[in-house]
A and B are shown apart, each in its own frame.
Chain A
Amino acid sequence: MSHKNELTLSREDIVRLCERVEGAQTRAYAIPKLTDEYPAMTIADGYAVQSELRLRYLAAGHRLVGWKAGLTSKAKMQQMGVNVPSIGFLTDRMARPENSAISTADLVHPRVECEVAFVMKKDLHGPGCTREDVLDATDYVLPAVEIIDSRFSGFKFDLASVIADNGSSARFVGGGRARYVEELDLRTLGVVMEKNGEMVAMGASAAVLGHPAEAIAMLVNILADMGEHLPAGSFVMSGGITEAIPVKPGDSVIARFQELGSVSMRFV
């Protein structure tokens, strides 16, 4: 992968790769990472494929409900050799209700992460969006679990490929208790993820870029690079506080958050 962030793919290549990712997402099968075939793929190429994918889903009648930030922990960014998070889009088809049974038949190798989610009351435009701008534009925050599912074999990928695969977005569950940001210290919220009654992951919200609103600000600035903005009403997930935990049919998951209640689900 080139470190220069320029578009290298032709329009034809973008459509071809988009169809490949769409097939893998829709029919739940693993594909080799895209850079195996296009080793020069850049981050810009990844976002070009992701945008094509988003437009296709929207044309098919899916509703864009928001965005997600990924690779928001220092450890994950260092691992991928980047200093900015990645982003992906969220549609109504990915939403699952709290306390529901979530099918794994339409997923490849799902994993769950605890996140703080933001719901916006004002439009946000980059570049130059700051943490303070995000807090000012936030209607409320709530706890969420993201179910990520890389479509790449063995969860092995590079940054360009994972961005093209919409940041491994698959499903999400928002729930718990909605809160105003003024009433919370968003930096120090503790979380515990339990699977089948056992604690499997723990952390505090500062694991996300020191403060989850920082991740939303970076997301807005990446959107600006793509010529997009974050509209009022958007649901935005700020990135995993805890490591991603694999789930399979029969597993029951509960994410417990300080001040925000809990989000639970089971997998069938």
Chain B
Amino acid sequence: MNEEKIRQYGDELFDAWRERRTVAPLLEREPDITLDDAYRIQLRFIERRVQAGEKIVGKKIGVTSKPVQDFLGVFQPDFGQLTSGMVYQEGDVIDLGTLIQPKAEAELAFVLKHDLKGPGVTAMDVIRATDYVVPCFEIVDSRINDWKIRIQDTVADNASCGVYVLGKTKGDPRKLDITLAGMVLEKNGEVHSTGVGAAVQGSPANAVAWLANTLGELGIPFKAGEVILSGSQSALVPVVDGDELVCTVGGLGSCRVKFSGRSAV
């Protein structure tokens, strides 16, 4: 795909994001779009957000579970970039009016204390480079009509990232079984679904290692202090005005989030 089209689609997604509306799946319009093209479109989309005043604060890893990979017909995760405008603090109320068609996922987030530079990064390097882990919610959102995404669509659309909330309980991955730690997601006081760290690429650290290696190949920096959302351990939960969600990671702690207002769709 030529540079002009990359810019055109990146700009289109940026405009859709800014105006809280959706666009037709890119793959419907460009059947030959490759995964590489999709990442270049994502970079353009993020470049526009940075030009508009945001900073890059981390990465998110998506498509980490086998059911989602099977659904999208891929055998590896994808990633998107986290920007300063996506950050909520625990206890904040998320305004659904800033989102289009949001769904929540419960995850484990990593914060790095050393740079991770792939290729050649293993899960052991990830633990070593990790400052702490925290329970978190990622509120995914799609700028594509009705979430009708194939892998190229979601990658171009910044891995369907919306906003995120980090919990306050920091854990040391050397003291926590991040692979077998249970994940309990409650919606309005009732258990909605449960999961476990292993649902993410066998272990969340494997997903982060994959990201370090992938970024290394693309020449994208992965720096100390960055936040990495390692991938969903729960079912996707649609959220509406008044909903309250709590996710709890066994042996670590919880993250609580409330929603108000109406999303665009």
Chain A interface residues (CB < 8 Å from chain B): 74, 185, 187-192, 199, 202-207, 210, 241, 256-259
Q: Which single member of A74, A199, A206, A210 contacts B182 (CB below 8 Å)? A: A206
**Is B195 located at the chain interface by the 8 A CB criterion?**
yes
**Is B101 located at the chain interface by the 8 A CB criterion?**
no
Closest beta carbon of chain A to B73's beta carbon, Å: 19
Which of B2-10, B142-150, B247-255 interfaces with chain A? B247-255
Given A188-B248, A188-B250, A190-B196, is A206 in contact with B191 using a C-beta cutoff of 8 Å? yes
Interface centre among A199, A202, A203, A241 (most CB of B within 10 A): A202
**Is B197 located at the chain interface by the 8 A CB criterion?**
yes
**Is B240 located at the chain interface by the 8 A CB criterion?**
no
Chain B interface residues (CB < 8 Å from chain A): 66, 177, 179-184, 190-191, 194-199, 202, 248-251
Measured CA separation A190–B198 after assembly (Å): 9
Q: Which residues of B contact A202 (CB under 8 A)?
A: 195-196, 198-199
- List the B residue with the shortest CB-CB distance to A211: B191
Q: Which residues of B contact A189 (CB under 8 A)?
A: 182, 250
Closest beta carbon of chain A to B257's beta carbon, Å: 18
Give me 25 A-to-B residue pairs in the complex whose CB atoms sit less than 8 angstroms apart, sorted by A's number: A185-B251, A187-B184, A187-B250, A188-B184, A189-B182, A190-B182, A190-B197, A190-B198, A192-B179, A192-B180, A192-B196, A192-B198, A199-B66, A202-B198, A204-B182, A204-B196, A206-B182, A206-B194, A256-B180, A258-B180, A258-B181, A258-B182, A259-B177, A259-B250, A259-B251
Q: Which residues of A contact B184 (CB under 8 A)?
A: 187-188, 204, 206
Measured CA separation A192–B180 after assembly (Å): 7
Q: Which residues of B contact A74 (CB under 8 A)?
A: 191
Q: Which residues of B contact A185 (CB under 8 A)?
A: 250-251
Measured CA separation A87–B177 after assembly (Å): 33
Contact A199 B202 (CB under 8 A): yes
Q: Which single member of A203, A210, A257 contacts B195 (CB below 8 Å)? A: A203
Closest beta carbon of chain B to A248's beta carbon, Å: 21
Closest beta carbon of chain A to B217's beta carbon, Å: 27
